[in-house]
Structure 1
Amino acid sequence: MERHEIETFLTLAEELHFRRTAERLGLAQGRVSQTIKKLERRIGVPLFERTSRRVSLTPTGRQLRDDLAPAYQAMREAVSRAVAVGKGVTGTLRVGFSSQWVHDLVLEAADKFESRYPDCAVRAQEVQIRDPHGPLRAGVLDLQVTEFPVDEPDLVAGPALFTEPRALIVPAKHPLAARDSLSVEDQSTLPMVIVAGDIPGYWMHHIFPTRTPGGRPITHGDSVVYWQEVLSLVAKGRGATPASLRAARYHSRPGIAFVPFRDAEPIEYGLIWRCDGYTGRVRAFVETLCELAGVEPPRP
């Protein structure tokens, strides 16, 4: 039996429908029928019972399916492993994430990636906001999904995968907490709790500006190095802090309120890797992430 005959037979044995089988294989329905008839002539008995309403396997067809399916799957896996080895998609890929909602996307991509490249395992690791690029530069990570902007000479900023609306996290007892939405100008009404660490100035200015678009000064109050400290200080009434609106689904707690901005630019999340680190593993995972996000992958 030729490979296309095996594939056609096993797909029809699963679908039990000629049109759906043709659609899955990208063939004309008549081509599927011809292949099955040719196979039945060679074996000498029908493999499928056909009526105007249904298609079912004959006893011979069931036996052939049970015998062929494991061998065909093993063959496909062997080919996939050979392709993966040829592309360098083996070993362990270490992927950093900056937030829980990014982690969700990385895990979804990891499932899809590992099914395609079973000889390459994905390990995800959270990147602390106080050192957003350190693990990648140190070689602890191969790839990272993080908040943009990223403009570093030794790092490549790949495509943006998705955006999230911005919000302001405020003390629950503050008057701003009662509003349905805020303007970016409202950031001037109370101090901002900010993060400290090895963080580029352009990123700090983008997330924690010192002036509103209208020119009003924004006071920077307490600075911390961990996200949970930010939430605790806001809950204590020490100030507010900007964040993704989606953070409310993961970090809501007593004493704070997430109020969306109605006029702020969304936060972009995208891919970064080292300039010398676009390996076969990284490229394959980037392509998987882009596929899930519905964006074009970078060209080699």
Structure 2
Amino acid sequence: MDRPELPLPQLHAFVVLAEELHFGRAAARLGIAQPPLSQQIRRLEDKVGHALFHRAPGAIALTPAGEELLPAAQRAIAALSDGLAAARAVGSGRAGRLRIGFAASLALTVLPGLLRTFRGRFPDVHLDIHEMTTAPQLAALHDNTIDIGLLREPPADTTELDFRTVLTEPFVAVLPSTHPLAAQRSVHVRQLADSPFVLLPRAVGPQLYDRITGLCTAAGFTPRVAQHAVEWQTVCALVEAELGVSLAPASIRRVRLKGVAFRRIEPGSARTRVAVAWRTYDSNPLVTQLLATVSR
């Protein structure tokens, strides 16, 4: 059997009248005259098929049918009120869910402070955090599976994504502590020409890979890549195992491994760019709120 549709204005009128048990006071609360209130109640009773109020001169009371309907009507009104409040909070960017991808090395730099500041301003926003390298972040942004990316060396040839630089940082040489160059305070890139390299695969971060190999090319050699590792922490571990050397963002120095030495490189002008990325036409207000946090 089809269920009768109960319009919310009629339920609202019913709940207020059930609470006041007086047409005059109920009409005043609703901001309407008594005749329209009576019409609302009559229409609701027609839909229910039974009287909801006993009417007597100077007094009204709920019928059994009215007593049965009242709790459900109160829950419906409360649920609608809660839903409207939640929708307003989400629409204004004060609540909701924000999906963020981040490069693992950024957990050593900008990520903790950014998340702490954002959570302080918007405690009701649920942050869904995903650790991933640059290429998967770009794909996830295009596929709408994350809302914000924090990545290194963003591409320059995309029209669907926007980027904002968060910071730049220099590169360092990552050496086994037993390597002869570890005794120096700084290392020229060309001094690494005869050493095998441990690098991230190009597929996970093409721009960063090309920046690093470009430094080697500018120094007059092509790096001989002996091992690949997806995360910088693993790169450092393989360097500690003396499988090669690497060039990495300076923040990687926060990875504490006894068998690894980090040294400044020459030329010292080489820097890597960290950026926040988002879809150009994203209407999610939480994206705007996070971008405002980055700008602070």
Cα offset, 1:223, TM superposition: 1.9
Look up the match of 1:28: none
Unpaired runs of at least 5, structure 2:
1-84
Look up the match of 1:244: 249
Map 1:129-144 onto structure 2 (within 5 A).
131-144=136-149
Root mean square deviation of aligned Cα: 2.9
C-alpha distance in 2, partners of 1:276/1:143? 13
For residues 37-86 of structure 1, give each alpha carbon's deviation from its aligned partner in whole angstroms, at most 9, with x where no partner exists: xxxxxxxxxxxxxxxxxxxxxxxxxxxxxxxxxxxxxxxxxxx9897544
What amino acid maps onto 2:169 in structure 1?
E
On the 8 A contact 1:160/1:269 being kept in 2, the answer is yes
TM-score by length of 1: 0.61
On the 8 A contact 1:156/1:275 being kept in 2, the answer is yes
Q: Does 1:190 align with 2:225?
A: no
TM-score by length of 2: 0.61
Alignment equivalent of 1:263, drawn from 267, 270, 274 = 267
On the 8 A contact 2:133/2:205 being kept in 1, the answer is no
Look up the match of 2:174: 169
Cα offset, 1:112, TM superposition: 2.9
Look up the match of 1:113: 118
C-alpha distance in 2, partners of 1:146/1:195? 14
Cα offset, 1:101, TM superposition: 4.3
On the 8 A contact 2:98/2:127 being kept in 1, the answer is yes
Change (3 A) 1:241 1:213: same
Cα offset, 1:154, TM superposition: 5.8
Sequence identity (%): 24
Look up the match of 2:292: 287
What amino acid maps onto 1:263 in structure 2?
P
Cα offset, 1:253, TM superposition: 0.8
Cα offset, 1:193, TM superposition: 0.9
On the 8 A contact 1:89/1:281 being kept in 2, the answer is yes
C-alpha distance in 1, partners of 2:104/2:185? 25
Alignment equivalent of 1:234, drawn from 235, 239, 246 = 239
On the 8 A contact 2:162/2:280 being kept in 1, the answer is no
For residues 152-196 of structure 1, give each alpha carbon's deviation from its aligned partner in whole angstroms, at most 9, with x where no partner exists: 526524221112121011111111111100122223131211222
On the 8 A contact 1:132/1:199 being kept in 2, the answer is no
Look up the match of 2:100: 95
Cα offset, 1:130, TM superposition: 7.2
On the 8 A contact 1:142/1:282 being kept in 2, the answer is yes
Cα offset, 1:220, TM superposition: 1.9
Secondary structure at 1:204's aligned position in 2?
Answer: helix
For residues 83-103 of structure 1, give each alpha carbon's deviation from its aligned partner in whole angstroms, at most 9, with x where no partner exists: 754434431112222135446
C-alpha distance in 1, partners of 2:220/2:132? 33
Change (3 A) 1:121 1:212: same
Cα offset, 1:119, TM superposition: 3.5
Change (3 A) 1:93 1:205: same
Q: Does 1:254 align with 2:258?
A: yes
Larger radius of gyration: 2
The number of aligned residues is: 211
C-alpha distance in 2, partners of 1:275/1:246? 29
C-alpha distance in 1, partners of 2:87/2:146? 25
Look up the match of 1:222: 227
Secondary structure at 2:174's aligned position in 1?
Answer: strand
Unpaired runs of at least 5, structure 1:
1-79, 292-300
Map 1:7-26 onto structure 2 (within 5 A).
none
For residues 186-230 of structure 1, give each alpha carbon's deviation from its aligned partner in whole angstroms, at most 9, with x where no partner exists: 231312112226335443211333843142232222223343432
Q: Does 1:277 align with 2:270?
A: no
